[in-house]
Structure 1
Amino acid sequence: MTNNTERKTYIDRFLTQFFRGRPYQVEVVTGDASFRRYLRVHKESESYILMDSDPSKVNNDPFVELNASFSQVGLRVPEIIATDMTHGLLLLNDLGCEHLADLLQSPDRLKYYKSVLALIPSIAKVAYSPYMKPYDSAFIQQEIEIFEQWLLAGWLDYELDDYQNAQWQLCKHQLVENMLSQPQTTMHRDFHSRNIMRDEYHWVLIDYQDAVQGPVTYDVVSLLRDCYFRLPDDEFSLLHNESYHILTSAGLLNGMSYTDYQRYFDLTGLQRHLKAAGIFIRLLLRDNKGGYLNNIIPTLEYVIEVAERYECFQWLATWLANEIMPLIDNKLNTAK
């Protein structure tokens, strides 16, 4: 593991070599929910983005390899201009600062969402890569257990009793089965408003390095049930219907009915949002990043709202609403 002084030395050497000794300026853009951080580099009238990704913490090979895979099907991703893979430095073209998240109050919001949904068939057709982790039963269950390990045990100091544990295990099993029984396609896996950038008139995908082959509804859930923004109900219904027709027209649903699609979508959302709530707390406890705490309640409200519609998840909805949410409220109010 390298320290900040060492990383600054690596960065200065890398940029000095790339610019052949000509002067440049560096400003911090942002970190993200991983161990990466991003710097904007100015050289005269040109600007670039430097991804600083310590290889002792992050494997950067998937970012490079999947960049090519996404590009091959016509998807726009950051251009990799230069690399120092030994020290985890990648110089990218500067895509600006505008994300879909910055356009959500626009009167053209629906138009934007429809055009982004239209990208999903191309993502689905990205060829399998050995850099994609197996999205199997064990991995899906492990994702759900992030909620149990970090939010319940780690943050709330909450321990399930025997009955609760039996119900929880049943819920996990049903969610895993739901995800494995869908048509499996390549999915971005973090396809939400903060990971979709607007470059002039084109959408550009970032944070694609965790792409896997998994349930066909996953990226639609990520977009339409965004943890950071809730669509109005009428717009959600319209876009959900639109997504079904887009995936059907692309031959990705294997003749699935809309009713079955709705169920697959809903239960996939349960898995994703339980995982996301756990990740928000992991970011706090492990990485000292508390900026996601306000997203926990809305994310779990999605889970409760959806779980209430299905008899087999009534226990989950009741348990979260009556036991876990009050504990979270108390924890958040105490932290203020």
Structure 2
Amino acid sequence: MTPPAAAPAFLARAGWGDAQILPLAGDASFRRYFRIHDTARQAVLMDAPPPHEDPRPFLTIADHLTGQGFAAPAILAHDLEHGLVLLEDFGDIRVREYLDAAPHEEHSVYERAVSLLADLHAQPPASVPLYDRGVYQREAALLPEWYAPAVGLSVDDAAYSKAWDAVLDVVEEDDAPRVTVLRDYHAENIMLIPGHEQSRGLGLLDFQDALIGHPAYDLVSLLQDARRDVPEAVETAMIAHYKALAAPRGNFDAAYAVLGAQRNAKIIGIFTRLWKRDGKLRYLDFLPRMWTLLERDLRHPALAPVSRWFATNIPADKRHQAFSDR
């Protein structure tokens, strides 16, 4: 977490020349974050180094969200050549840690987060590409590409793609509205920021990969969280809460299950890649939760073709593998 070489000059140009640069966080991508302290003020420095990262989509979506009254970090300065963005600091109260310390508030906090999604879905979507069949297929394919060889399996890739084609129609029904999908909407990317009543006191992070897609996707991202256990009773209650607010059209429950399975398959592939390619062993700890969630989604009748593929190609003992060589 050494600050990028271009950071001091960038901060000086932005009027923060005397600020301290302190490590804040990294994530699963090449992006890194630093907290900038300057006497009585502070900000966050995003390091999105080219050519691996491009901060422009983040700037575009941040502008879209704030224009609709949602709390995305204000952009204080940016240097696109070096991939540096100075952001408003939302503080340290992430939903994840807050609920770890106050589990009795889980229902109320998730209710606010779901209400915010309903608010977002009532607004015109951002000018971003469509979350289409090709993207769904490429993402789902990360599981056989990375997980299968990691556990010593050779699987039928063509049958896997065919199975997903058979179930994705429900996500693309004409009745389903098209909304801004943030794609990583979960407890570690939502901040509690008192005083932002219009945004329900919730600050949004990590939305640079937003697309236009089905409204169930971000609900799945929130309620089938890769990094924390959300009780099934809370998930059920929050789905009902969203449906009461948004009155979604189409076969919403089936779409929720299909997108849950698609997302969880994608994440299993990504987390395996982070382990095998990038040496980030901590992501192995999330795999048992991801398999539990995926198997639960696969029980929905709408996923019968995909469920049959998993039964044939990935035996149960290979789904919760201990990875003794970690």
Do Structure 1 and Structure 2 share a fold, with TM-score over 0.5? yes
Cα distance in 2 for partners of 1:65, 1:330 equals 41
Aligned-residue offset at 1:117: 0.5
- Partner residue, 1:185: 179
Cα distance in 2 for partners of 1:312, 1:61 equals 39
- Residue 297 of structure 2 corresponds to residue 306 of structure 1: yes
Aligned-residue offset at 1:291: 2.1
Cα distance in 2 for partners of 1:220, 1:101 equals 16
Cα distance in 1 for partners of 2:170, 2:192 equals 33
| 1:1-336 superposed matches below 5 A | 8-19=4-15, 21=17, 23-105=18-100, 106=102, 107-130=104-127, 132-153=128-149, 155-160=150-155, 164-165=156-157, 167-181=159-173, 182-201=176-195, 202-248=201-247, 253-254=248-249, 256=250, 260-310=251-301, 311-316=304-309, 318-319=311-312, 323=315, 325-327=316-318, 329-330=320-321, 332-335=323-326
Aligned-residue offset at 1:10: 0.6
Aligned-residue offset at 1:157: 4.1
Cα distance in 2 for partners of 1:238, 1:96 equals 29
Aligned-residue offset at 1:231: 2.1
Q: Which amino acid aligns with 2:46?
A: M
Consecutive unaligned residues in structure 2, runs of 5 or more: 196-200
SS at match of 1:288: coil
SS at match of 2:21: strand
Q: Which amino acid aligns with 2:139?
A: E
Aligned-residue offset at 1:329: 4.2
Asked if the contact 1:189–1:212 (Cα under 8 Å) also holds between the matched residues in 2, the reply is yes
Residue 139 and residue 79 in structure 1: after superposition, are their counterparts in 2 closer, same or farther (change >3 A)?
same
Asked if the contact 1:73–1:125 (Cα under 8 Å) also holds between the matched residues in 2, the reply is no
Q: Which amino acid aligns with 2:48?
A: S
- Partner residue, 2:198: none
| 1:77-129 superposed Cα distances (whole Å, 9 cap, x missing partner) | 01110111111111111111111111224211111111111111332245444
SS at match of 1:333: coil
| 1:142-194 superposed Cα distances (whole Å, 9 cap, x missing partner) | 111111212223x234211xxx4564233211343232223322211111111
Cα distance in 1 for partners of 2:217, 2:177 equals 11
Asked if the contact 2:271–2:287 (Cα under 8 Å) also holds between the matched residues in 1, the reply is yes
Asked if the contact 1:175–1:271 (Cα under 8 Å) also holds between the matched residues in 2, the reply is no
SS at match of 1:56: coil
SS at match of 2:291: helix
Q: Which amino acid aligns with 2:66?
A: S
Aligned-residue offset at 1:293: 1.1
Q: Which amino acid aligns with 1:291?
A: R
How much is the aligned-residue C-alpha RMSD, in angstroms?
A: 2.2
Aligned-residue offset at 1:232: 2.0
TM-score by length of 1: 0.86
| 1:263-307 superposed Cα distances (whole Å, 9 cap, x missing partner) | 111111011100111111122233332222111111111111221
Asked if the contact 1:123–1:187 (Cα under 8 Å) also holds between the matched residues in 2, the reply is no
Residue 40 and residue 326 in structure 1: after superposition, are their counterparts in 2 closer, same or farther (change >3 A)?
same
Consecutive unaligned residues in structure 1, runs of 5 or more: none
SS at match of 2:141: helix
SS at match of 1:300: helix
SS at match of 2:77: strand
Greater displacement, 268-277 / 298-307: 298-307
Cα distance in 1 for partners of 2:312, 2:222 equals 27
Residues matched between the structures, number: 315
SS at match of 1:291: helix
Greater displacement, 103-112 / 264-273: 103-112
Cα distance in 2 for partners of 1:98, 1:77 equals 15
Asked if the contact 1:69–1:126 (Cα under 8 Å) also holds between the matched residues in 2, the reply is no
Identity of counterpart residues, as a percentage?
25
Cα distance in 1 for partners of 2:188, 2:144 equals 26
